């Protein structure tokens, strides 16, 4: 008799020193932007091929990005992975993002993990106040993560991750009065899994992400997964155009981190309706992004993946289809992902991601459930 695994996972990301972009030109909904947007980029080719869905997928090397609590249930003893992706290749030839991640099980109940994310903006020409070239600089940003995951019970795990963020966009080039930025962040995540006797179905996951894996036979299985995400930062309000300081609609974004998180669920100015009223709930719903993906495995060695990512037009208008392949031979695996725009034009179109991962030692024996 096959089994169902019921999983609930949740992820709370607290990124400090986030800012929202203001738009005072009109009363329409505006996109929310944050400092260090590279932290929102799916780093791995597996999730990149499944519409950037990764919260409810099975544990892998990149769990530190999606939900570090999954490491407590990872099968291998330790492993490493490296991913690389040229970014905005249709516009700039030398922008790229790379991530190195690894994990180590301490015992059956504990695991630690680390990652290094590096983003290069390529060569940027600098000019003087009069427009004269004064040289080139290579802006860059990076984030260093460390995580600890612990099983709290047979079916429950939790994790905490700490992150150091470094942003150097000018480096004081040519005497400019700027300095690299430094910030810190923390992730808190929980993962619950329950194995139940059931009919011919298998793995179900609920929470920020939901998924279903169906084992067709001993060689074939297929998984479906979906994520829903929302930035826990203030929505830009609409200011009075007369003084640019008085708030007409929305709430003051200059608040503490905790207040900003709580306020983010109802601080939108609201969508302007035909009768002149503003629908706050509708704009809050538009701030959600949706990811959906499917993954097929043959003999746990060859994988084919596809997905879709959706963001409302008023909040960024990112809409794209993704496809990818994966090959796993013993301890070595390679993943590939490709992005296809669903709109007429997308700055990320033709984006390619590559990931290489290594897993070592025999799977850790877990307690029978």
CA distances from 204 to 18, 52, 223, 315 (A): 34, 19, 10, 30
369 falls within a domain: no
333 falls within a domain: yes
- Burial string for 75-98 (b: 16+ CB within 10 Å, else e) reads ebebbbbbbbbbbbbeeeeebbbb
8 falls within a domain: yes
Task: Quick: pLDDT tens for 232-271.
Answer: 888 889 888 888 788 889 998 888 888 888 898 999 999 9
209 falls within a domain: yes
**CB pairs under 8 A, 24+ apart, for 270-274?**
271/29, 271/314, 272/27, 272/28
270 falls within a domain: no
pLDDT for the residue 172: 66
184 falls within a domain: yes
- Counting the structural domains of the chain, the total is 1
- Which range of residues forms the domain containing residue 58? 3-231+287-360
Residue 255 half-sphere exposure, CB side, CA atoms within 13 Å? 18
CATH code where residue 115 lies: 2.40.160.40
Rounded-to-integer distance, Cα 307 and Cα 56, Å: 14
368 falls within a domain: no
Task: Quick: pLDDT tens for 25-37.
Answer: 344 556 777 778 8
CA distances from 202 to 211, 217, 361 (A): 10, 12, 26
Kindly state the percentage of the chain with pLDDT values over 70.
83
Rounded-to-integer distance, Cα 316 and Cα 20, Å: 13
- This prediction has a pTM of 0.77
pLDDT in tens, the chain (369 residues): 233 333 333 333 333 333 333 333 344 556 777 778 888 888 899 999 999 988 878 888 999 998 899 999 998 899 999 999 888 877 778 889 999 999 999 999 999 999 999 999 888 887 777 777 877 888 899 999 999 999 998 888 999 999 999 998 877 665 567 788 898 888 888 887 765 444 333 335 334 777 788 888 889 999 998 988 888 888 889 888 888 788 889 998 888 888 888 898 999 999 989 998 999 999 999 999 999 999 999 998 999 999 999 999 888 888 999 999 999 988 889 999 999 888 766 777 778 899 998 887 755 544 444
Count of Cβ atoms closer than 10 Å to residue 283 Cβ:
25
Enumerate residues 6+ apart whose C-beta is below 8 A from 228. 208, 209, 288, 289, 290, 291
């Amino acid at each position: 008799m096959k089994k169902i695994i019921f999983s609930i996972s949740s992820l709370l990301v607290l990124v400090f020193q986030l800012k929202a972009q203001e738009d005072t030109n009109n009363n329409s909904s505006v996109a929310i932007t944050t400092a260090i947007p590279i932290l929102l980029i799916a780093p791995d080719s597996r999730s990149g091929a499944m519409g950037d869905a990764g919260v409810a997928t099975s544990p892998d090397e990149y769990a530190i990005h999606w939900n570090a609590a999954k490491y407590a249930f990872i099968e291998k003893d330790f492993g490493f992975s490296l991913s690389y992706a040229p970014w905005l290749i249709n516009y700039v030839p030398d922008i790229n993002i790379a991530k190195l991640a690894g994990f180590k099980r301490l015992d059956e109940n504990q695991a630690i993990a680390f990652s290094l994310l590096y983003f290069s903006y390529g060569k940027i020409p600098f000019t003087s106040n009069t427009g004269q070239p004064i040289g080139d600089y290579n802006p860059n940003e990076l984030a260093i993560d460390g995580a600890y995951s612990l099983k709290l019970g047979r079916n429950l795990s939790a994790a905490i991750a700490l992150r150091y963020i470094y942003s150097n966009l000018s480096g004081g080039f040519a005497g400019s009065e700027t300095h690299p930025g430094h910030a810190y962040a923390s992730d808190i995540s929980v993962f619950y899994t329950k194995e139940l006797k059931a009919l011919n179905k298998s793995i179900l996951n609920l929470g920020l992400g939901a998924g279903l894996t169906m084992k067709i036979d001993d060689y074939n299985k297929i998984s479906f997964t979906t994520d829903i995400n929302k930035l826990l930062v203030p929505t830009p309000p609409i200011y009075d155009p007369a003084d640019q300081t008085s708030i007409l609609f929305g709430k003051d974004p200059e608040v503490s981190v905790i207040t900003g998180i709580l306020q983010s669920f109802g601080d939108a100015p609201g969508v302007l309706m035909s009768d002149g009223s503003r629908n706050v709930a509708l704009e809050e719903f538009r701030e959600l992004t949706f990811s959906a993906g499917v993954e097929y495995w043959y003999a746990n060695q060859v994988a084919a993946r596809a997905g879709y990512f959706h963001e409302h037009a008023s909040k960024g208008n990112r809409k794209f289809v993704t496809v990818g392949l994966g090959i796993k031979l013993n301890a070595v695996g390679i993943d590939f992902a490709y992005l296809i725009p669903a709109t007429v034009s997308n700055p990320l179109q033709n984006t390619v991601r590559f990931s290489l991962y290594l897993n070592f030692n025999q799977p850790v024996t877990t307690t029978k459930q």
